Structure 1
């Protein structure tokens, strides 16, 4: 599980639908069958958020929406729901496009681009604007990325070897992890304090404003000071890291599959027609682009391993599990089952085309979980990823440096940790930039996005 976790997970189904394993000294059960996973996700009162993963996440996120127990989940979701209205997808798309252009502006023909680092910069920019407008400057954004890089590595180790005594030792790795968590909390606390001290920002409808407005109320559902920070840390981690891993994986897969890339470029050229962002109603026309994102989430799900804890004695797959038992499920394992997805190791975006009437078994495709604990921003997350892929593909091809990218590296999220590809400007993009340079530049209008945060897990 620690050395080769993906191979280990894929080896489990031959042992049954529910397989007992050990995580350090702890017994745990892995649900390998989609029907079992569907039952687990649809019954969160019996299979609550808990186990090694969430025990570690709570030290980082507190009791925010992703980590809170089921009895507090409805209150928190109701509080945050206004920030995730589907009507905000258009505003989210504009922010994504602007941040993508800012990242790609520094690319040059033939340059070796660290796509993972660039996608982290992109999602940090998008997430920070949606969470707290312009409060995260370049220095803070770099600090956030550095903290998250340490945290996601440390969380995986602490999940598969849940022995608390090991992580209290003053080793360099433990000190880096504790410092990263503390630094992340300090950054968010400073932003909250600055917003409270600063002038009124009634025109800025970001998530921090939503939370502070709710905290100012005197109702029983008003969040505490600690909860405001917990929610921001939760959505910052899930929004930056998970989306960046999805995008980096998508470009790595496209680089290895030229035909899928060609179809993507043809669609983007036809729909965008040279414009930087999809207009109203045009995001839905990026059908193949969305299929690329969906197939990436199947083949390389950023959230690849999750734990639950039983709240009572219960039967699962003919086994009686005691109260407090740890149950695991892996989207990676489920998404790679041949019974659910023919040729599961193949990158085939066309399997998600609307005219492909091939039903997916319940519980077989769960990149955003399911049931009442399904990702609150799944629709906006798909819009964000689709818009980002289209914005990059409009102007650039990303080529392999030497051979296929290979399998991703698991940590708290799954994805390429340092994917380097060659940047090649597209011919249409070069012609468009030449025409733009020869014509008067349009006068830019000021833009104040009114958006909600799009990701969580």
Structure 2
């Protein structure tokens, strides 16, 4: 099995330093220790591009923790079998794969245009609360089409429950303890599930299943037959929130970069000028023509991946980058430092969208871009998120010059506990002449 030795420890690292400044410790660990380093006994950080890619692709050696934010509701019928969850994911992916998203660009584009049109010019606007409901409406509509208006209020309450549940606390209760936050989560999940159940039954009884993601889940598989009602209901709350929660963090970073890099924003605006006047007529060809805009979005996600740290567990002893990882160890995969691996990204700290145009095949190389993860547990909604973010970026730059508020930088609070976010970010929009 090769040499048996542990990854190096970071001098002055450990949980105390980590809790004070996660990003700084992550950068120092990558710089001083290389591919893999030890945070505490049994806790390792995969820091560089190819090693991060290897962990995420070796799903049998490094397993994703099975702790969904919205676990299956307890029912008299018992828990679903693991195979059903696999089939449910495959059914969802029929509606979320790039070809499916491309076919529905005309449904996504109007929401991004409304966001730009409704931004109040010449006023200081806090970004996250403005972006989140817009992306929620787009995401929920993509999943549920004409039933989206009925489900949107319940989806929003799921997000509220998520925020309550992931709020940092000084004490982590065992999963079986019914804390007030978990009871609140369960009530909101039950409400969403009940609303969705009536829609599922109506669609099935009428035979009009729909062409949205829910419709794909209702279609029987030629190999496995129809999904059970309960597995559909249990697997959709998490993906519903995911369609807008993570993209919201990404959108805030993108808008901040439009404000800071005016030449890049002007170039996006020039591309966006070729979009159709009626957003509903936007096609995948229009999206494909936004090449610089897509490069800018990808570059922002490289520098500021919203999911900057991913957790995996080693079920058995294995090797990683010539080191021994013992069974039961935790491996933290860090796209934040992987994206700053100078072997893959020259001048890794520099914001340069052109790098993705100069080498258009670079994103397919192992570890080069992990903004949506990779491997068996990569983000299901990656294509949808890229479409939403690209169109929102184009529509906003087409209409406005953005600027930060005057004063000391940064004008926001960087948070890293549940993803990389710009809490309290305010921007001002001025109409382009």
TM-score range, shorter chain: 0.7 to 0.9
More off after superposition, 226-235 vs 295-304: 226-235
* 1:220, distance to aligned residue in structure 2 (A): 5.4
Aligned: 1:9 with 2:26: yes
The aligned counterpart of 2:8 is none
* 1:299-378 equivalence runs, <5 A: 299-354=303-358, 362-378=366-382
* 1:376-387 equivalence runs, <5 A: 376-387=380-391
* 1:222, distance to aligned residue in structure 2 (A): 4.5
- In structure 2, relative to structure 1, the CA distance for the partners of 1:299 and 1:221 (3 Å cut) is farther
Q: Which runs of 5+ in 1 are unaligned?
A: 428-457
- In structure 2, relative to structure 1, the CA distance for the partners of 1:360 and 1:208 (3 Å cut) is closer
- For 1:281 and 1:38, locate their aligned partners in 2 and report how far apart those are by CA, in whole Å: 31
- In structure 2, relative to structure 1, the CA distance for the partners of 1:330 and 1:97 (3 Å cut) is same
The aligned counterpart of 2:7 is none
More off after superposition, 380-389 vs 258-267: 380-389
Aligned: 1:130 with 2:116: no
Instruction: Provide the TM-score with structure 1 as the length reference.
Output: 0.77
- In structure 2, relative to structure 1, the CA distance for the partners of 1:72 and 1:201 (3 Å cut) is closer
More off after superposition, 308-317 vs 86-95: 86-95
* 1:39-438 equivalence runs, <5 A: 39-50=54-65, 54-55=66-67, 58-62=68-72, 74-137=86-149, 141=152, 144-145=155-156, 147-148=158-159, 151-152=162-163, 154-155=165-166, 157=168, 163-165=172-174, 168=177, 175=180, 177-196=181-200, 198=202, 200=206, 202=208, 204-214=210-220, 222-269=226-273, 271-272=274-275, 274-276=277-279, 278-354=282-358, 362-402=366-406, 405=411, 408-427=414-433
* 1:243, distance to aligned residue in structure 2 (A): 1.1
Partner SS state of residue 353, structure 1 = helix
* 1:36, distance to aligned residue in structure 2 (A): 1.9
More off after superposition, 416-425 vs 396-405: 396-405
Partner SS state of residue 21, structure 1 = strand
* 1:41, distance to aligned residue in structure 2 (A): 1.9
Partner SS state of residue 133, structure 1 = helix
The aligned counterpart of 1:30 is 45
1:272-298 C-alpha deviation (Å, 9 max, x unpaired): 264536345121111111011101110
- For 2:294 and 2:54, locate their aligned partners in 1 and report how far apart those are by CA, in whole Å: 28
- For 1:141 and 1:264, locate their aligned partners in 2 and report how far apart those are by CA, in whole Å: 31
1:184-234 C-alpha deviation (Å, 9 max, x unpaired): 3123212222214546371732222333444xx897565444421232112
Partner SS state of residue 327, structure 2 = coil
* 1:29, distance to aligned residue in structure 2 (A): 1.2
- For 2:256 and 2:176, locate their aligned partners in 1 and report how far apart those are by CA, in whole Å: 34
- For 2:62 and 2:193, locate their aligned partners in 1 and report how far apart those are by CA, in whole Å: 33
C-alpha contact (below 8 Å) 2:116/2:395 kept by paired residues: no
Instruction: Provide the TM-score with structure 2 as the length reference.
Output: 0.81
Partner SS state of residue 272, structure 1 = coil
C-alpha contact (below 8 Å) 2:55/2:333 kept by paired residues: no
C-alpha contact (below 8 Å) 1:153/1:412 kept by paired residues: no
- For 1:70 and 1:35, locate their aligned partners in 2 and report how far apart those are by CA, in whole Å: 30
Deviating above 6 A after TM superposition, structure 1's stretches of 4 or more consecutive aligned residues are 68-73, 356-360
* 1:252, distance to aligned residue in structure 2 (A): 0.8
